[in-house]
Amino acid sequence: MFQSGVRKPLRGPDEVAYFLTISACSRAGEWRKGLDVLEEMKAAGLSRSVKAYSAAIGGCAEAGEWKVALRLLTEMSEQGVKPNVVTYSTAISACAKALSMSDEKEDPFRVAMTLFKRMKQDTRTAPNIVSYNAAITACAEGLKIDQAFALFNELEQTKLEPTIVTYGGLMTACERVVDSEKAERLFSIMKENGIVANEIVYGAAISCWRKAEKVCYDY
């Protein structure tokens, strides 16, 4: 029975506190510290939830550490923790970031597409628009423009609405492979859908046309 004035025994951080700490490390670019905190949870005998793992993978995504993200996914499976949409989407983003930072294209791209395919095979992890945007960006950075636009076409079947991030990823794909015709067509699609281009779209388009030594005036 609770007695007034009797102090309760102190307890260490709980799962929520650890999750918030990992998230803070990831947002600050301290992905290694986030992994250390994740390990501390294990040492403390606490259950490492899908949210904790996803937060750690988020730090990997910011740094392009796709191999570490993949290792964490494997560890989750071994621990019986099921990845969710956020986990997979963030891991795909890690691959996309790695593709943008390195000449190594084949392995990160293959892993990104494998993860995306895995998402579609389970209704509990069906890709949302964030997942599609991550996959399209991976295609763009992997110099796979046809696959990027194929994913865009898939959106009509899924009933998901493209966002400005979607179009930014597609325009980046055009810029990476210098496809000015697809860039112009993409602007037409955006106009038809009432989407106003932002600085990312314009910047990628201008770079694409400059590389193609083409001047376009109507946009």
All structural domains of the chain: 15-144 (1.25.40.10), 162-219 (no CATH)
CA 10 to chain centre: 38
Between 102 and 57, whose confidence is greater?
57
User: What are the residues whose beta carbons fall under 8 Å from the beta carbon of 85, sequence distance 6 or more?
Assistant: 119, 125, 126, 127, 128, 130, 131
Closest CA to 140 of 107, 180, 167: 167
Among the residue ranges 34-38, 102-106, 154-158, the one predicted with the least confidence is 102-106
- Do the beta carbons of residue 103 and residue 143 sit within 8 Å? no
Handedness of CA 213, 102, 137, 64 (dihedral sign): negative
- Joined together, the tokens standing for residue 32 give 């290694």
Among the residue ranges 9-23, 57-71, 118-132, 161-175, the one predicted with the least confidence is 9-23
What is the distance between the alpha carbons of residues 109 and 95, in angstroms, rounded to a whole number? 7
Alpha-carbon Rg for the chain in angstroms: 21
The string of pLDDT tens digits covering residues 85-99 is: 999 999 999 999 999
Structure pTM?
0.88
Q: Which pLDDT belongs to residue 101?
A: 93
* DSSP code at position 46: -
